[in-house]
Amino acid sequence: MRKVGLLTSGGDCQALNAAMRGVVKGLSNNLDGLEVYGFYEGYKGLIYGKYRLLTSSDFSGILTKGGTILGSSRQPFKLMRQPDENGLDKVEAMKHNYYKLNLDCLVILGGNGTQKTANLLREEGLNIIHLPKTIDNDIYGTDVTFGFQSAINIAADAIDCIHTTAASHNRVFIVEVMGHKVGWLTLYAGIAAGADIILIPEIPYDIDKIAEAIHKRTKAGKGFTVLAVAEGAISKKDAKLSKKEYQKKLEKSPYPSVSYEVAAQIEKKLGVDTRVTVPGHTQRGGSPCPYDRALCSRLGAAAAEAIIEGDYGNMIAMKGNKTVRVPLGKVAGKLKMVDKDAPIVKEAKFMGISFGD
């Protein structure tokens, strides 16, 4: 009898259910005896013993269902070693519930913070498999994360819809795309939807360069401009501030986000109507796109194979369109950033897209 635990942690995305389904189908089709336990609300369920034995019916019909049937929560990695309000040792509690169920392996689906805690549990002696989930595509060691393509589709669709109203009213429109630390989602969605200017955290912008790009379009007879701006986009001036100084600046800012600040600066410099649209959490919602469904089925099957072979302590990644096992200790805590000199950036610039730099 093989006993496996499942949990989904951190922000949700469209393909978590598809990934869990892939794991369970891979295991059930190749093992005679299997018990799968689902922990509710991510690490919270593992800490406080909130779980139940799952059956095959739980995984029926969820390939196309967004969100997660197990629920999720954010449990900051930096607080994992700190006791809770009642003095409970969270790490010891997680280990206790793992051994209480006599699990052979715990499959953890999540992003960077989730991965760091998964690696911590691996270091504590638990058998762990991690599946890389995030719409940000910022997990080091894998070409792509599940949820990324589905989010691209939604963000690109939002930019597509803005094009018609921007053209109709000869306005400047900013679409704010999710991504605090990295710009993969904004970069791909912006290119896919034909944004004229793309601002991402890795390439600090100069507002004068943005104004120049808009003015150039106006001179060419194009009365509107569409900007795709990442949540974490930052000006060259602000990029020179320390983390503490920048945080103080944000706390005192009259703008709810960088997009509104950029909009105000464009209006002041050019005197043109500028509007901001924020798709927000719609980028995490809805059904997973076909690409993500196929990706999760492959990652889930590869995870099941690793479990059957007893090869633990790995993230199941995609490299060159192949599933590979990457040791958690080599990737946990690392971010995959957009290189400002990456081919995709150079190609976008070659087509005339401005990055405000």
Which residue among 12, 58, 136, 196 is the active-site one?
136
136 is catalytic: yes
Q: Are 162 and 177 in contact (CB under 8 A)?
A: no
200: left (phi over 0), alpha (psi -120 to 50) or beta: beta
Catalytic residues: 136
